[in-house]
Amino acid sequence: MRLRNTRPLDISSAHVIVTGGSSGIGLATARLLAARGARVSLIARGAERLEAAAEEISTAGTPDPARTRASVAARAADVADRTALTRAIAELEAEQAQPCDILITSAGLARPGHFLELSDEIFRQMIEVDYFGTLHAVRAVAPGMVERGRGSVVAVSSAAGLLGIFGYSAYGPAKFAVRGLMESVRAELTPRGVHVGVVFPPDVDTPQLAEENRWKPEETRVVGGTIRPLTAEKVAAAIVRGIDRQRFTICPDTGTRALARFGSVLTPLLNREFDRRVRAVQRSTPSA
């Protein structure tokens, strides 16, 4: 769906801020946008990995012969800390001498586990990082975009934000919340000239997935079947296309695209199949 009330952005002259920009989807997207000539600013918690990511993108160069290095800035901040994140965004806008034209909220955390065994702290952490980390960033840049009458805000949700999945009782609701936030924000910001998008990636081959796999219940693994994770680069390419085409729903693969479009029909069928797989696992492990 193309949003007619927004004007496509010229990425080559845009200032892009990416949360979670030191690895995974955020870093891959930052690379693509820098290669298009954008000024790129990265935000992540780990300062050392963040500096390495900024240096890598910077030395890759730009399509402009007059610029041998991409314009890249970075700030370490925890997206769950509203004050620190808002300050980091303001400092990056000042350093790049340009307000944020495109925001991509890729910072996130996934901690699967059995509902009855997860601590309250895990549920709280998922909401604070995945949902409030998105909300704080959007609220920091949206007023300026509305005032200028242009901009693009893209939040990374998850396939788990489209369908409840065994083992994701803490993570899934946070990603559903991101989806709901962006649907509401889209309704308000689109008439003001701001493009709003939300991304629904399935499993993606990133350091975050490797950490997540340490905690996955066997039922969650079986529900996922033998589907191979996407590369971060494939998801990044879908995000950039979504910005170019002013799309709200951004799905990097056919499975999530079908689920986003035909969820009311597919969800009961998928739940039936997932329940069958879960029962098979639990029959084979009586102590589960």
Does the pLDDT of residue 4 top 50, yes or no? Answer: no
Q: Which of 23, 157, 158, 169 is catalytic?
A: 157
Tell me the mean pLDDT in the region 115-137.
Answer: 98
Are the beta carbons of 126 and 177 closer than 8 angstroms? no
Supply the pLDDT for residue 284.
Answer: 86
Q: Within its chain, how far is the Cα of 93 from the centroid?
A: 21
Q: Which of 7, 11, 97 is nearest to 62 (CA)?
A: 11
pLDDT band at 174 (very low <50, low <70, confident <90, very high): very high
Tell me the mean pLDDT in the region 186-211.
Answer: 95
Tell me the mean pLDDT in the region 214-229.
Answer: 89
Question: Does 171 qualify as catalytic in the annotation?
Answer: yes
Q: Which of 22, 23, 175, 216 is catalytic?
A: 175
Does the pLDDT of residue 245 top 60, yes or no? Answer: yes
pLDDT band at 188 (very low <50, low <70, confident <90, very high): very high
Q: Which of 41, 106, 152, 171 is catalytic?
A: 171
Token pair of 100, please?
């944020």
Are the beta carbons of 162 and 208 closer than 8 angstroms? no
Supply the pLDDT for residue 286.
Answer: 62
> Mean pLDDT across the chain, nearest whole number?
93
Supply the pLDDT for residue 67.
Answer: 59
Tell me the mean pLDDT in the region 157-171.
Answer: 96
Tell me the C-alpha distance between 197 and 250, whole Å: 7
Does the pLDDT of residue 88 top 90, yes or no? Answer: yes
Phi/psi for 75 (5° steps) reads: -140, 135
Token pair of 222, please?
């079986």
Does the pLDDT of residue 63 top 80, yes or no? Answer: no
Supply the pLDDT for residue 145.
Answer: 97
pLDDT band at 269 (very low <50, low <70, confident <90, very high): very high
Does the pLDDT of residue 157 top 50, yes or no? Answer: yes
Are the beta carbons of 28 and 37 closer than 8 angstroms? no
Are the beta carbons of 30 and 235 closer than 8 angstroms? no
Question: For the chain, what percent of residues have pLDDT higher than 90?
Answer: 88
Tell me the mean pLDDT in the region 125-130.
Answer: 98
Does the pLDDT of residue 288 top 50, yes or no? Answer: no
Higher-confidence residue of 121 and 226: namely 121
Question: Does 175 qualify as catalytic in the annotation?
Answer: yes
Could you write out the three-class secondary structure of the chain? CECCCCCCCCHHHCEEEEECCCCHHHHHHHHHHHHCCCEEEEEECCHHHHHHHHHHHHHCCCCCCCCCCCCEEEEECCCCCHHHHHHHHHHHHHHCCCCCCEEEECCCCCCCECCCCCCHHHHHHHHHHHHHHHHHHHHHHHHHHHHHCCEEEEEECCHHHCCCCCCECCHHHHHHHHHHHHHHHHHHHHHHCEEEEEECCCCEECHHHHHHHCCCCHHHHHHHCCCCCEEHHHHHHHHHHHHHHCECEECCCHHHHHHHHHHHHHHHHHHHHHHHHHHHHHHHCCCC
pTM for this prediction: 0.91
Token pair of 84, please?
């620190």
Tell me the mean pLDDT in the region 108-121.
Answer: 97
Tell me the C-alpha distance between 203 and 225, whole Å: 12
Does the pLDDT of residue 61 top 90, yes or no? Answer: no
Tell me the C-alpha distance between 121 and 108, whole Å: 16
Does the pLDDT of residue 49 top 50, yes or no? Answer: yes
Supply the pLDDT for residue 241.
Answer: 97
Tell me the mean pLDDT in the region 178-200.
Answer: 97
pLDDT band at 2 (very low <50, low <70, confident <90, very high): very low
Token pair of 270, please?
């998928």
pLDDT band at 166 (very low <50, low <70, confident <90, very high): very high
pLDDT band at 25 (very low <50, low <70, confident <90, very high): very high
Question: Does 216 qualify as catalytic in the annotation?
Answer: no
Supply the pLDDT for residue 66.
Answer: 56
pLDDT band at 1 (very low <50, low <70, confident <90, very high): very low
